[in-house]
Amino acid sequence: MEWLLKPFADVVPKDIERYVADRLEQEYAPATVDRELDLLSQVVHWAIKTLRIHIAVSPMLGVRRPRYFNERNRRLTGNEEARLMAAAREQDRRLAYEAAVETVLGLSE
């Protein structure tokens, strides 16, 4: 984390990649570290655009992100399917009612 004490213009991708390696060694999931890099990237871009810190190249340019498989395979359990279907029917009923009201109001004008 000593790179945080460096002047902003002196931070290079290798500094951030060491941070990534440290986080992975601390057994954080690669997806978590990738989201942290997204936040760090937002801060860097905010500093460049809003604070108008002039640097030749963004320190995020060239940072290698951790690789991970981000596909999910969650299945519905218990009564989740019934609850989702009930919510969809309720929303459909509400939208149909609103459309009918708009149609009636539109015809009366």
pLDDT band at 18 (very low <50, low <70, confident <90, very high): very high
Q: How confident is the model at residue 69, as a pLDDT?
A: 86
**Residues in contact with 47: Cβ distance below 8 Å, sequence separation at least 6, in sequence order:** 8, 53
The full set of domain ranges for the chain reads 1-65, 81-109
Give tens-digit pLDDT for 92-109.
Answer: 999 999 999 888 887 655
- Distance of alpha carbon 96 from alpha carbon 76, whole angstroms: 27
Percentage, residues of the chain above pLDDT 70? 97
Residue 60 DSSP label: T
DSSP alpha helix (H) spans, the chain = 13-25, 30-49, 80-108
pLDDT surpasses 80 at 26: yes
